Structure 1
Amino acid sequence: MKIKDIEINKTVLSPMAGVTDLAFRLICKEMGAGLVVTEMVSAKGLYYKDKGTEMLTTIRENERPVSLQIFGSDPDIMSYVIKNDLNFREEIDIIDINMGCPAPKIVKNGDGSALMKDPNLISKILEKCVKVSKKPLTIKIRSGWDKDSINAIEISKMAEESGIDAITVHGRTREMYYTGEADWDIIGEIKSRLKIPVIGNGDIFDSSDAIKIMEYTACDAVAIGRGVMGNPFLFKGINNLLAGEKDYSPTYDEILKTILLHMDLSCKLKGEKMAIKEMRKHIAWYLKGLKNSNEIKNRVNTMEKREEIEELLKNYFLN
């Protein structure tokens, strides 16, 4: 599929705060992700040159194509950042605007999925951002704020008319957070009404789920979030099925090699102390469901050295 002039396969790594950092994006790209998306980046943080925010925008050539996702609710600040900062970043292929994050700390400021309550504000953001962006511009939305205000169809039509190049739809309301079942019907309804690419998101936890949502909704691609945590191999499986081949299941040896590569990348990028602290959750996800893994997870949580963790994991996987 194409997002304007950017060609990708049918798989997208969804942006996830604290998860889709550079190290994990590189892993997912290696596994066949067609498009990777950064962690959410605050438009205000970029506007005020916050160093922590700018660190989130570090992109490497070998992870491209990359979409950088911004969040905010001030049309002037968002368009200013796109015009005066992001437009000139050659390594950024696509700019995505988050209108779906349900996190309380995001919503309380009127950002993320809170925007779904104010279509007029969305219209102003889209108008100003499309006008200044020199890169493909996309948005990510939810089905609505709650079950009594399902307005994703209205918002998606507005987005297309404004000049947005693609849209990702998560089939849940903000009220649902990540509970219940995602509504794939609304994704299909939006796809049937739009000419721009529609990317389906929600309840994709194995390769067959990705094929099912594409067949059910006719969406152009799938965006995978929670399903890929600890399982970047999912991209290989989906690509195999799309190519008419067998699903992919990693060996213990490949899981071990991937964890160690992930840990090494993270240590190089963030320093060992911070990397090990952040890798604990990733290792827990990688080990989820494996035999006798709870003891290993608990031990990893007490370790602070990369070598200690590597030795423990090698003994676990190879014995």
Structure 2
Amino acid sequence: MHAITVDEPGGVDVMSWAEVPIPDPGPGEVLVRTQAAGVNRGDVLQRQGHYPPPAGITDIMGMEALGVIEKLGDGVEGHQVGEQVLALVSGGAYAEFFVVPAGQLLKLPAGIDPLAAAGLVEVAATVVSNFDRVHLSAGETVLIHGGAGGIGTLAIQYAKALGAHVIVTAGSAKKLAYCRKLGADEGFDYHDDWEPQVMMATQDRGVDVILDIVGAKYLEANVRCLADDGRLVIIGMQKGTKGTLNIAVLLNKRGTVTATSLRFRSLASKAAICRRVEEAIWPLLSSGAIKPGNQTQVPMAHASKAHELLESGDNTGKIILVV
């Protein structure tokens, strides 16, 4: 088979469409013939050498995919060869075949283009698990950073479906308009001083929940923007890993700061999240309450172009590699 390989960490020029052995599924795993794979920020970080896969996982990039089951490993039940599935994987999706634990397979959402769904697995798992973690509820206000990206576009719609008031940050007027089209109530350009605008929009109350992909750069401002009993969940570190925190501000707000990673969870945890996605997100997709959002398709052999586009910041929605 062919796969996107990386000889050494670096820019997009280190990526090659090369021939590698087809993996063999172990007990409890399945081999899937890839039809499409989603492109995520974690893939870019891995290519750059900042986000290595968990121990024992292939160094081929790719954490979500659509495909057809080619072979069942020992002990796999409830699936069959020839079945079209979605998959949440820890790596390996940038290839013509990949192996995945059977618990991390997902059924396709009814009535949705399978290619559109291929780019929703990772973001849906990230959004639902983190909003569950901080207990986002109807009537609360949530601030979503990077609202026009893959995670942001789904987070906006899921938060609205939960009955929340949604504020976003994004990098341009065009992206903010896109976020509003998806249901965001208010939006601010992150190139400006967004903190006072958020506080003004909430009459200085602050927000109940913040979903943050940025990391260290926003830590202090995020905490200042929390309402009493507010919860900040950090899911990315695009702008640094080390920040300062005024404990007194957090203490006075009775605030919570938490951080999560999906990729390094246990198999049981990932399987449970996949079931939660099928339960909470897929029906909203099928009903039209959540729409897949913009999608850019790139041939998998040209994955370097997809990475260039993601890093440029010009894209809205999700980028999909198609075999």
Provide TM-score, normalisation by structure 2.
Answer: 0.29
Q: Whose relative contact order is higher, 1 or 2, with alpha carbons under 8 Å and at least 6 apart?
A: 2
Which structure dedicates a bigger proportion of its chain to helix? 1
